[in-house]
Structure 1
C-alpha cells in the first residue's frame, strides 16, 4: 500500500507544475528595484523582470596587454575621448551600488531610473512618499523614459511606481563638487506637455542635472483632507526627491549645499510653491520659474472637492463623504480614472486636480497650510535668489481649444464662463458686468472669432501666466531681501518650430524657450543666431546656479534685479526687432513690463480677488452646483442609491492574482487530485 502514496505524490508534483505557474512567473504590480534593464511600459503595471547581478561590459575590464604598453604607434595610440567612452560610472549611495552609463556622445555620465522613494501604488496611492528601497545587488541605472501616469490625447501613459531620479553629470566621485540643478517638468499639473529634452548643453557648463519625476493629476493632487488622501502628494514627492539629492548627490559630483530648483509651466509653479513651504528649508538655494507662478489662478485650487465629486459621479458613484471618495479613487483603475478626467470641460483654466491648502492631520506633515498670497505678502519664506519669466504668447497653450473645439463661439456667447477661478462676485449680474468689461478690454467690441484669434491668445496668456508672474514679482520685490530677476522671451527662430501650436504667432509661443535650453539637434543643422540665443540662455541659467547672478560670457547686456524702484527686466528680442550687428542686440534691458495690462488687472483684483481655499465636507459645497454636476453626468437617477456602501463590483478587477488566491488554488487542486488518484489506485489494486 505504501507505494500508492509515493505514486500519488509524484503525479501531483508533475501535474501541479504544469497547471499552476510558480509565483515568480506571475505578473505583479511591484516596481522592480534590483538589476532591471527593462524599459517601462504604459499603464499601471510593470512587467516582471528576473533579478540578475549586472555584469560590467567587457570594455570596462580589459587588462593592459603588451600592445598597450609598447611604444605608441598609429594603431596603439589611444584617443583620450575614446578612453572616457570605455569607462562605466559606478557610485555607492545610501541605497547601495549604482551603475550608470556613458552618454551617446561620450563626454558625460547618465544615471536613469534611480528610485528616490518606495512604491506609491495600492493604499499608498495618494499619500506622501516612503523612503526608497535598498539594493541587494548593483542597481543598473539605465531605464530611460520612466514616466508618471499622465493624460495624453489618446488616454494616458506612464506607471504609478514612477518616483525616480535621472542624473546627468560630467564627473563622479569628484574632489571638486559642482552646482546642482534639479529640473521639474510640466505644463499643467494634470497634462504634462513634454518634448524630449537634452541636458547636453548644461554638461559643458560644469553643473550636475537631476531630473525628478513626481505624481501628477489625481494621483499627485487629490486633496480630501483625509489620512489616505491629505493632498499635495506630488509636491511632497519633489521634497522627498530634494532630500534624496541632499543625501546622495555628492557621489555624483554635485554640491548638496548649492542646489538650484528650476521648472516650466506647472513645474515652475511647483518650484515656486516648494520655495514657500517650510518642508523644503535647507534643500533649495536658488530657483528659476519659467512660465508659471504660485499666484497663477490654476496653481492652487479654490475648490478641492468639486472635480473629485464630478469624477466619482461620472464613474457611477454617489458619494456623501470624503472617506467614500477616497475609497472610490483608491480602488478604481488608473485607466478608468484618466479616461473620466480627460472628459472634463475646464473653460476657466482651472485644473481638475492641483495643489491645495491642507488641513492639519495627526501624523501627517502638511506641505502647505496657508495660501501663497499670504506667505509672500507676509515675507514668511526662505529668501533665496529667484528668476521668473514668461514668453510673448503664453496663450498658445489654449490654441487647440480655439481651433478644434468651439471655445471662440462659446466665449462670444458666454464670456463669464471663461473668467479665471481666482475671481469672486456677489451676484451673477455683477459677474456678467465684470465679464463684459474684461471682454471689451481685449476684444474692443468685436465678435470673438478666428479673425481676432490673436486677441484670444493674448487674453489666455495674460490670465494664465503673464499677469500672475508680474504681480508676484512686484509682491516679492516689496518683501524679499534676496535678488529677483524677471525676463520676457520673445525670440522666434527655427529651433522653436516643434513647439508651435495650431495657431501661428510671430513671436515666441508657450514652451518655445525650452527649445533653446535643451536642444539636441546637431549644431551644423541649426542657424547660428539660434545657437547664440541658446548659448546665452544656458550661460545665464548656469551662471545663476553657480553664483546667483544670471550673467553671460557671450552677451554683454546687463540684467539688473527686479526692484520696487525700477521694475527692471531682460527681454530676449524677437527676430523682427533684431538688427545686424553684435550679438548684444539679441537682448535689451527694460523697465515696468506691460503696465497697462497690469494696471487693468490690479483694479479687477482689488475688487474681486478670491484667494485659495479648501473645504473638507461635501455638504459644504453649493447644492445648486451639485445638482448641475449630477445632471451633466447623467447621475441624477442614482440619488436613491445607498451612497454609504461602495460596491466592489463597480471597480475593475486587478490584473494579477495575489498570494492568498495562489495558495487557495494550490490547496484546492491538490485535494481534488489526491482524492481522484487515491480512488483510482485503490480500485486498480483491488482489481
Structure 2
C-alpha cells in the first residue's frame, strides 16, 4: 500500500514538473531567448533570464544604440560581466565595456503568467561601482529578483549601466556632454517597454526603483523629457535628483583632471583624445580620495555624477518635475543614512572610548554650509544643538553628527523632491522613513549600539534576504522584509501601497500641508503614520540657510 502511494506521488510530481508553467523560448526584438525554469513549489514555477542584451556595446562616450540582434537562440543562463569599474579599494578594475545586459524573473502559478506588473531595478554605488546582480556571497546575489517576483507576483528586471568616467565624464559641452550611464538606464527601460509583453509583463504598468545613486537615477528618469509614457511609477530609496552629490555643475574641471592623468590635452582636443584612451586607464583616472575630515567631507569627493547637458537634463532638476506629471512616486530615506559618510569624516562617533568634540559638529556643519560662511555654520549649530540641553552627553553629540550628515546628504533633498512632486504633478506621492536598527549595532565595530538604519541597510530587506537565508536573521527581520515587499509590490500593481497584500499600517499620501509619512521597521503598527518629518531641519536647510547673509549672522 505504501509503495503504491509513494509511486503515485512520484508520478504526480513528475507530471507536475514536466508540465510546469514556463514561457519556453521567448521572441524579442533582437532574437529568440531561452531562460531557466525553476520549480518553487507545487504548480509554482519561475522563469529566470540572465544576460539579455538591451543595447549593443556602446561607443566610447556615446549614447547606447539598439542591439543588432543575434542568430539562433540566446541562452540567457548566466549573469554577464559588470560594466568596467574600479574595484572597491580602487587599486585595479574589473568588468567589461560590453556590459549593457539585463536580467528578468517571471513567476508562474497554475498557468503561464500574462500582463504582470513590472519592476525595473537600478542599482546604486556612487556612480562608480555596482552591477545588475549586486554583491555575491556563496552564489547568493543581493539583487536576485526571485523573492520580490514570487511573493509580489510581479516581474522583476535588473539592469546595468556604465559607471565612472565611462558613464559620467563630461567636458561640459557638445564634445562630451555626459550622462551616458543615465542614457543606458533609459535604453533599458525603453527595451522593457517594447519587449516585456513577450515575457508575460504589462508594458503599461512599469515601476522603476533603485537605491542611493540608483535612487537618484530613478528620480532623473522621472524628470527627463525622454521617458514620457514609458513607465507609470517610481520608488527612490535614499537619493533624488536634488541631492548635493547627484549633479556636477562644473564637469569641465573634472574632465581636465582626468585628461591630465591619461596624458591628454585640456584644450579643444581633449574630447577626441579621451575617446581614444585605453578604457582601463580612464577608469583608473576616476579614482576618488578616500580620506576625509569634518573640514573636507567624503560626500564632496563624489564628483562623477549627472550633468545638466541640455538634453537628458535640459535644465536644473528642480525645474523639471512637470515631466513626472503622471508618475506615482514613493521616496524616502533611512534614519541614519549619513552614518556611512560621517563615520569616515568624524571617526570618533564610532568609538565608545574616544571623545567627539563639539567643535567637530561645528566643523562638519561649516563644510556643508560653506557657501554661507560663518553665518551658515552658526545658524546650523543653533538648530542642531537646540535639543541638547546644557550638558549634552557623548551619545547625543555623536548622534547629532550622523543626523547632520543624513539630513544634508539624503533626507532634506528627498523631502524637497517629495514636495515638488506633490505640488507639480497629478501622480500620487508617498513618503517614508526606514528605521530598522542596524544588525551590527553594539555587536561589531564600527557600529555603535545606538545605530539605526545605515545607508543601504534597506537593500537586504527589499530583496527578501531574511526570507531566503533565514539562519542569518531573526523573525523580526523577516517581518520587515515582508512589509517592504508587500508595500513595494502593492504600489507597483496599482499605485497604492496599501492595496493588495497585507500591510501593518495604512500609508497615507504625502501632501504639502500635513507632510504625512510612514515609519517602516519590524515594530510598526497603525500608529507608525507620522507627520512633518524633521520639519525643524527641513525649515533650516530649505528656508533659513538660503536667506542668510554671507557677511554676518542674522
> What range is the shorter-chain TM-score in?
0.7 to 0.9
Deviation at 1:291, TM superposition (A): 0.6
- Match in the other structure for 2:353: none
Which of residues 128, 141, 145 in structure 2 aligns to 1:199?
145
Give the aligned partner of residue 607 of structure 1.
Answer: 547
For 1:157, the equivalent position in structure 2 comes to 94
Shift of 1:560: 0.8
Superimposed CA distance per residue, residues 293-315 of structure 1 (whole angstroms, 9 cap, x where no aligned partner)? 11111111221112222222344
Give yes or no for the alignment of 1:306 onto 2:253: yes
Distance 1:524 1:215, change over 3 A: closer
2:181 alignment counterpart:
234
2:343 is aligned with 1:394: no
Structure 1 residue aligned with 2:232, among 285, 302, 312?
285
Aligned pair 1:131/2:66, yes or no?
yes
Segment drifting more, 170-179 vs 381-390: 170-179
Partner of 1:93: 28
Q: Deviations over 1:333-385 (max 9, x none)?
A: 333333332243684524221111114xxxxxx21111111223xx3543211
Residues 386 and 316 (structure 1), Cα distance of their counterparts in 2 relative to 1, 3 Å cut: same
Aligned: 1:357 with 2:302:
no
Indicate if the aligned counterparts of 1:126 and 1:219 stay in contact, CA closer than 8 A: yes
Aligned residues of 1:500 and 1:509 also touching (Cα < 8 A): no
Where do 1:455-494 residues align within 5 Å? 455-492=400-437, 494=439
Q: Count how many residue pairs are aligned between Structure 1 and Structure 2.
A: 510
Judged with a 3 Å threshold, the aligned counterparts in structure 2 of structure 1 residues 164 and 524 are, in CA distance, closer, same or farther, namely closer
Q: Is the aligned partner of 1:272 residue 2:219?
A: yes
Structure 1 segment 105-144 matched on structure 2, within 5 A: 105=40, 107-120=45-58, 124-144=59-79
Matched with 1:189 is 127
Residue pair 2:56, 2:67 contacting (<8 A) in 1 also: yes
Deviation (angstroms), 1:253: 0.7
C-alpha distance in 1 between matches for 2:82 and 2:475: 34
SS at match of 2:217: helix
Counterpart contact for 1:409–1:448, Cα < 8 Å: no
Partner Cα separation in structure 2 for residue 151 and residue 450 of structure 1: 36
Distance 2:14 2:482 in 1: 28
Unaligned runs of 5+ in 1: 1-70, 360-365, 610-687
Question: What residue is the counterpart of 1:296 in the other structure?
Answer: 243
Q: Answer yes or no: is 1:438 the counterpart of 2:389.
A: no
- Cα gap change, 1:287/1:312 in structure 2, threshold over 3 Å: closer, same or farther? same
**Shift of residue 72, structure 1, vs aligned partner:** 6.9
Superposition TM-score, scaled by structure 2 size: 0.82
After TM superposition, the structure 1 = structure 2 runs for residues 185-584 of structure 1, keeping only pairs within 5 Å, are 185-192=123-130, 194-195=134-135, 196-204=142-150, 205-321=152-268, 323-324=269-270, 326-344=271-289, 347-348=296-297, 349-350=299-300, 351-359=302-310, 366-376=311-321, 379-399=322-342, 401-402=344-345, 412=360, 415=363, 419-420=367-368, 425=371, 431-439=373-381, 441-442=383-384, 452-492=397-437, 494=439, 502-504=446-448, 505-521=450-466, 522=468, 524-525=470-471, 526-551=473-498, 553-573=501-521, 578=523, 584=525
- The answer (yes or no) to whether the contact 1:523–1:531 under 8 Å persists in 2 is no
Task: Quote the Cα distance in structure 1 between the aligned partners of 2:23 and 2:7.
Answer: 25
Alignment correspondent of 1:33: none
Distance 2:507 2:254 in 1: 43
Q: Deviation of residue 151 (structure 1)?
A: 2.8
Q: Summarize the Cα distance change of 1:327–1:501 in structure 2 as closer, same or farther, 3 Å threshold.
A: farther
Structure-2 separation of matches of 1:217 and 1:500: 31
Match of 2:138 in 1: none
Partners in 2 of 1:161 and 1:170 — Cα distance? 29
Change (3 A) 1:344 1:493: closer
Residue segments in structure 2 that go unaligned for 5+ positions in a row: 1-5, 136-141, 351-355, 550-554
User: 1:175/1:477 Cα in 2 relative to 1: closer, same or farther (>3 Å)?
Assistant: closer
Residue 14 (structure 1) aligns with = none
Relative to structure 2, which stretch is displaced further, 433-442 or 183-192? 433-442
Larger CA deviation: 556-565 vs 437-446 = 437-446
Residues 200 and 520, structure 1, Cα contact 8 Å, conserved in 2: no
Cα deviation, 1:642-677, whole Å, max 9, x if unaligned, reads: xxxxxxxxxxxxxxxxxxxxxxxxxxxxxxxxxxxx
- Displacement of 1:226 after TM fit? 4.7
Q: Distance in 2 between matches of 1:102 and 1:501?
A: 42
* Distance in 1 of aligned mates of 2:401 and 2:318: 27
**C-alpha distance in 1, partners of 2:444/2:433?**
18
Displacement of 1:424: 7.5
1:388 alignment partner, SS class: strand
Does the CA-based 8 Å contact 1:416-1:431 persist in structure 2? no
From the superposition, tell whether residues 588 and 510 of structure 1 become closer, same or farther in structure 2 (CA, over 3 Å): same
Q: How far apart, CA to CA, are the structure 2 residues paired with 1:405 and 1:216?
A: 32
Residues 604 and 501 from structure 1, CA distance in 2 versus in 1: closer, same or farther, beyond 3 angstroms?
A: farther
1:524-572 per-residue CA deviation (whole Å, 9 max, x = no partner) reads 5342222121111111111111111001643342111001221111112
User: Deviation of residue 262 (structure 1)?
Assistant: 0.6
The residue that corresponds to 1:179 in the other structure is 117
Query: Larger Rg: 1 or 2?
Result: 1
Quickly say closer, same or farther: Cα 1:260–1:451, change in 2 above 3 A. Answer: closer
Contact 1:567–1:593 (Cα < 8 Å) also in 2:
yes
Which residue pairs with 1:650 in the alignment?
none
Measure how far apart 1:387 and its partner are.
0.4
RMSD between superposed Cα atoms in Å? 3.5
Cα distance change on mapping 1:228 and 1:97 into 2, 3 Å: farther
Q: 1:94-151, CA deviations, whole angstroms, 9 ceiling, x for partnerless residues?
A: 111101112485731111111101112xxx2111101112111211112215211233
For the residues of structure 2 that align with 1:180 and 1:99, how far apart are their CA atoms?
19
Question: C-alpha separation between the residues in 2 aligned to 1:380 and 1:424?
Answer: 32
> Structure 1 or 2: larger strand share?
2
Q: Are the counterparts in 2 of residues 399 and 502 from structure 1 also a CA contact under 8 Å?
A: no
SS at match of 2:507: coil
1:653 matched residue in structure 2: none
Q: Distance in 1 between matches of 2:445 and 2:239?
A: 19
> In 1, distance between residues paired with 2:365 and 2:258?
20
| Aligned mates of 1:328, 1:448 — CA distance in 2 | 56
Q: Secondary structure at the match of 1:211?
A: strand
1:47 alignment partner in structure 2: none
Normalising by structure 1, we get a TM-score of: 0.67
Distance 1:171 1:272 in 2: 31
Shift, 1:284, TM fit:
1.1
Task: Give the 3 Å change call, closer, same or farther, for CA 601–393 of structure 1 in structure 2.
Answer: same
Q: Distance in 1 between matches of 2:340 and 2:66?
A: 36
